[in-house]
Amino acid sequence: MNGSKGKFITLEGGEGCGKSTQAKLLTAYLQKQGIKTILTKEPGGTPEGMLLRQMLVTGDKDKFDAIAECLLYYADRRVHLQKLVWPALAQNQWVISDRFADSTEAYQYYGYDKRVDFATLQGLYKMVAGDFKPDLTLILDMPPEVGMRRSLLKAEQMAVKELRFESRQIEFHNNLRRGFLEIAKREPERCVVLNADTTVEELHRQIVQVIEEKFNING
Ligand code: TMP
């Protein structure tokens, strides 16, 4: 598999769905297959992006409205693509990203009950990423109550302060879930929805199966 063309794989989902753990496991699996793979995330995949992340995920939940958030996430995305994702793909590396543009659509468009104009959102995508798209997007789906419980527990255990989104009402999280499922329905070629309300091992097994089938890897 070494030397194959680079692939861009994104993991998406609501709070506490286990994306970060699965992104790490997937990266380790691909590296074990001899595929040069880097793991990154949005927001904050670059040093500049980390500054934006700080602004975005901490503090009062109402400090930015949906439009301001879109612009900040897209600023992070532009730097991420230019400085990290595109150069890595150009060197035939695989890139696993813990969140990408579907998160903006789910959080800032569906989550806020469509307070951003959809055409504007698409325009921002085009300006920042052009025709570039992930080769595969894994959407980790679970009931929001389960995810919220998981992420608040984790935040408590790790004394994490990135709680701007976790502190929103359940309705927001239901909207998010609906948003991710709508995206998957609209782009079935790119997106695969997986039930994340299961064990870490079982979800990893399902992800590996999808990857092996889609990219013809013999694990
Ligand atoms: P994380 O906790 O998965 O690293 O993501 C940080 C937070 O940022 C999470 O609550 C989701 C949110 N987010 C958006 O609202 N829009 C976006 O475009 C991205 C990438 C993340």
Of 11, 20, 57, 96, the one to substitute when testing ligand 1's pocket (max ligand atoms within 8 A of C-beta) is 57
CA 84–ligand 1 middle distance (angstroms): 18
Ligand 1 center from residue 165 Cα (angstroms): 8
Q: Measured between alpha carbons, how far is residue 107 from residues 73, 100, 178 in Å?
A: 11, 11, 10
Delimit the domains of the chain by residue range. 8-215
Distance CA 93, CA 195 (A): 28
- Distance, CA 10 to ligand 1 centroid (Å)? 13
Nearest atom, ligand 1, residue 15 CA = 10
* SS3 sequence of 111-163: HCCCCCCHHHHHHHHHHHHCCCCCCEEEEEECCHHHHHHHHHHHHHHHCCCCC
Q: What is the mean pLDDT of residues 1-27?
A: 88
- pLDDT tens digits, 176-202: 999 999 999 999 999 999 999 999 999
Distance, CA of 58 to CA of 161 (rounded, Å): 6
Q: With a cut of 70, say whether residue 161 has pLDDT above it.
A: no
The atom of ligand 1 lying closest to the CA of 41 is 4
Q: What are 80-90's pLDDT values in tens digits? A: 999 999 999 99
Which CATH code for domain 8-215? 3.40.50.300
